[in-house]
Amino acid sequence: MELQESFINSPTHHRIPFLSWVPHNPTSVMVIAHGMAEHAARYQPLAQWLNQQGIAVLAIQHRGHGPQCPDSDLGHYGDSRGWQMVVDDLQQLVVHARRQFPDLPLTLFGHSMGSFIAQGFTQQYGDQIDNLILCATNRINRPRLRVSLALVKAIGLLRGKRHHSRLIDGMTFGAFNKAFAPNRTSHDWLSRDPQQVDRYLKDPLCGFPCTVGLWSDFISGMLELSPATWRRDLPIHLLAGDRDPVGEMGRGFSRHVTDLRAAGLNVASDRLFPGARHELVNETNADEVWNHILHCLPGKTTSGP
């Protein structure tokens, strides 16, 4: 159950960093895609607890994130094809996990930004996984996304793809925090647990601004999502907090559940946790959330924390 850091060489010659926590004789495997402006090591408490339940965990470090990322590339997918590269990186890790654990059911877990990368993966490579968990996700609001993309691209034309826009930060993370005024910190929206929020703020690999190029890639990738084209029999589990501004305080999340079902997909479960904010796995009811995640895995039931 010790943390191991490894790399995969991608076809684009990028060394894909990932972390793994593997128990003795695992019965299932989970691949984690983390969120924006954070990193894979933050999932260690969850991973170690899952190890105790017999689950092997591998967590990717997305491009533009993590300790291996040069400062000049922090918050930036790439100068071209950024979205496709992060989706393909995730696919490389899934292939690696399949080779390492060929006989075990494989679950892909995506949090926030990672939930959308996981959906991009599912659209292109859905036959390579057995189960999908989308955490702290939201609906695909195409009119709003198109307006946002036009703004982001205009800023990019004026300032360049690697520009860090205060306007974009204010429209996203700044707006998220307004719902929790008066604010103790700039990131109260992440969790009700002040210690978890403080850990995030003190972590030099968290909370950094992302480039105009990343935002353009990310929004474009979301607009490419077409659930009607996904594999129909793949079990999909969705979970969020009903005080998560990313999921529009539960409204956008619930709309996404409805949209996936309308597309004929196998929504195996959906759950909104009352009072919980964005980072469910770091919430005050983390034990309840972790048990729910365990319950979403093939052949698993709940366990004590």
pLDDT digits (tens, 9 = 90+) for 233-285: 999 999 999 999 999 999 999 999 999 999 999 999 999 999 999 999 999 99
Single out the residue of 122, 16, 128 nearest to residue 69, CA to CA.
16
Q: Using the predicted structure, report yes or no on whether residue 54 has a pLDDT greater than 70.
A: yes
Q: Using the predicted structure, report yes or no on whether residue 11 has a pLDDT greater than 50.
A: yes
* Cα distance between residue 88 and residue 13, in whole Å: 12
Place of tokens 């922090």: 74
Residue-level pLDDT at 216: 98
* Cα distance between residue 300 and residue 170, in whole Å: 41
Q: Using the predicted structure, report yes or no on whether residue 302 has a pLDDT greater than 70.
A: no
The mean per-residue pLDDT over the stretch 54-81 comes to 97
Residue-level pLDDT at 303: 44
Residue-level pLDDT at 23: 97
Q: Are 129 and 107 in contact, with CB atoms under 8 Å apart? A: yes
Single out the residue of 19, 28, 17 nearest to residue 51, CA to CA.
28
The mean per-residue pLDDT over the stretch 208-213 comes to 97
- Residue by residue, DSSP assigns 161-209 as TT---HHHHIIIIIHHHHTTPSPSSTTGGG-S-HHHHHHHHH-TTSSPP
Q: How many CB atoms lie within 10 A of CB 256?
A: 25
Q: Are 74 and 61 in contact, with CB atoms under 8 Å apart? A: no
φ/ψ region of 25 (left if φ > 0, alpha if ψ in -120 to 50, else beta) reads left
Q: Using the predicted structure, report yes or no on whether residue 301 has a pLDDT greater than 80.
A: no
pLDDT confidence band for 300 (50 / 70 / 90):
low
Across the chain, mean pLDDT equals: 96
Tokens, residue 227 = 């659930």
Long-range contacts of 247-254 (CB under 8 A, 24+ apart): 247/136, 247/137, 247/138, 248/138, 248/139, 249/179, 252/138, 252/139, 252/141, 253/137, 253/138, 253/139
pLDDT confidence band for 305 (50 / 70 / 90):
very low
The mean per-residue pLDDT over the stretch 188-210 comes to 98
Q: What are phi and psi of 180, to 5 degrees?
A: -115, 25
pLDDT confidence band for 73 (50 / 70 / 90):
very high
Q: Give the contacts of 208 (CB within 8 A, at least 6 positions apart).
A: 37, 74, 75
The mean per-residue pLDDT over the stretch 102-128 comes to 99
Q: How many CB atoms lie within 10 A of CB 51?
A: 18
What the chain holds in terms of domains, given with CATH numbers, is 4-296 (3.40.50.1820)
> Both ends of the chain: CA-CA distance in Å?
17
